[in-house]
Amino acid sequence: MIKITKEMTIKEVLNTDENLSEVLMGYGMHCLGCPMHTMETLEQACDGHGLDADILVDELNKQLEGKEE
């Protein structure tokens, strides 16, 4: 199973599973259409939005794990 890391770009996260966009948007990250999503890491995006990257990564990975069950 692929694990999401905070070093991944937002684009890489979405390429893993496009439904993860719902989790990102739930955290107020509405920048999915922004050109920066192709270059900005999840950690950089979290810093810009005042979020804890580790908490978001855990949530994204839980979402992926739930799909495999």
pLDDT in the model for residue 50: 95
The answer on pLDDT for 6 being more than 90 is yes
Mean pLDDT of the chain: 90
pLDDT category at 69 given cuts 50, 70, 90 is low
What residue segments make up the domains of the chain, in order of their start?
10-68
pTM of the model: 0.88
- Position 34 scores a pLDDT of 78
Closest CA to 49 of 14, 20, 25: 25
Rounded distance, CA 39 to CA 57, Å? Answer: 17
Range 10-68 has CATH code 1.10.3910: yes
Hey, what amino acid is at 58? D
Residue 21: pLDDT above 90? yes
Q: Return the exposure string of 16-55: e unless at least 16 CB atoms fall within 10 Å of the residue's CB, then b.
A: beeebeebbeebebebeeeeebeebbbbbbbeeeebebee
Q: Please report, as a single letter, which amino acid is at residue 44.
A: Q
